[in-house]
Amino acid sequence: MTVILRSLETAVPATIMVQPQVRDVFAAQPGLTRLGQRLVGAAFDSSGIETRYTVLEELTLDRSFDDPLFFDREELRILSPSTKVRNEVYAEEGTKLFVEAARKALAAAEGIEASDITHVVTASCTGFFAPGPDYKVVRALDLAPSVQRYHLGFMGCYAAFPALRAAKAFCDADPDAVVLVIAVELCSLHVRSSNNPDTIVGSSLFADGAAAAVISARDIPLTGPALSLDHFETVLTPVGEEAMAWNIGDEGFEMVLGTYVPHIIDDHIVGALEPLLARDPSLQGLAYSDIEHWAIHPGGRSILDKVEAKLGLTEQQLVPARETLRDYGNMSSATVLFVLKNILDQPASPGNDRICSMAFGPGLTVETALLTRIGAIPAADADAVMAPAAADTFADTDAVPADLEPILTEAGA
């Protein structure tokens, strides 16, 4: 029995943040030291990001808002609302994205109706409320009240994998199950000005986005590309518990992104892949680059550089991850699903269609997955898929002062 991801759709909010503009705002904040200003410039310019999205309409330079909570356009000042205020926005705006992404995924899953959904699995680490997003999706999409609901909270950037793994387990246990998986993150709610390098790097990377998938083992003909969910593995690295964390503060959630994270990944990525690749005898002895597709969570440009070099992958194999980072930034748990969407929407190639996917998060946790792309997409349609919002001017992504490399480049920027 094959468990298939039958549809994968994404959604982003309407407000676009252009990286050089955001950089200039952060660099101009009161209380920022000269070193802080240099760190802001280096982090933003070396991020590999051109555009990001946010649910906060206030984070625009196009117009001012009365009684702003997050950004005073007149003074170009980033404000510090309480965690309660930020979470209230999460409950309202997050629900919209959960529902939008879920609705799109369900509409794209041909042969499956809302009444077929048996399980809903949601993942998010940027806010909390109850009844939660799983409940809101059931109500908004008029799903059966008997749908089983599961919410994976506060796992971080790797949470899409436990969600997909749970979906596969449900389908393995019940061949008639149909699982709706949704990952939504509103990272921009927790933005703040600071001289702290971790906070600066986080401000340069994180963004808002949503992704949803419909998964089932039902024998329904495929009319487009899909993914076979083959194997999943989890590995905790022996070091790194304090290097990457996500804590709740009085003025939002606080990111810890230690400078040693890319080194930890570089040291332990091969070991983390071993149990996954051992699940498929056909992959034994192959060079990593012989697996055609690599869906790597783009935690930052430096992390992608380390993965590419350590595994001997080609530049082309990292294109889906780098394009996702460039066009959307790091959307925490939703991001790797954007990368998989990029691969799904590529035209069929003469090579193999195996996909090795990885994400990294607090712990330091490494989640891995083996998938197979099945079905095809006409080449003529591929260019129109995943077209990012355009911006006229972008940052020079190579302009990192040499003396700041140990602080920023090795922190994932």
Rounded distance between C-alpha atoms, residue 382 and residue 24, angstroms: 35
103: enclosing H helix or E strand: helix 95-108
Question: How do 252-257 and 293-296 pair as beta strands?
Answer: unpaired
Q: Cα dist. 68→52, 58, 73, 85, 305 in Å? A: 21, 7, 8, 12, 39
Q: Which two tokens stand for residue 392?
A: 């006229």
Q: Which residues contact 290 (CB under 8 A, 6 or more apart)?
A: none
171 is catalytic: no
Which of these is catalytic: 125, 157, 187, 356? 157
Rounded distance between C-alpha atoms, residue 216 and residue 85, angstroms: 38
Q: Cα dist. 77→30, 32, 80, 312, 360 in Å? A: 8, 12, 10, 44, 33
Q: What are phi and psi of 144, to 5 degrees?
A: -60, 140
Rounded distance between C-alpha atoms, residue 282 and residue 280, angstroms: 5
Q: Which residues contact 34 (CB under 8 A, 6 or more apart)?
A: none
Rounded distance between C-alpha atoms, residue 139 and residue 125, angstroms: 22
Rounded distance between C-alpha atoms, residue 160 and residue 283, angstroms: 24
List the catalytic residues: 157
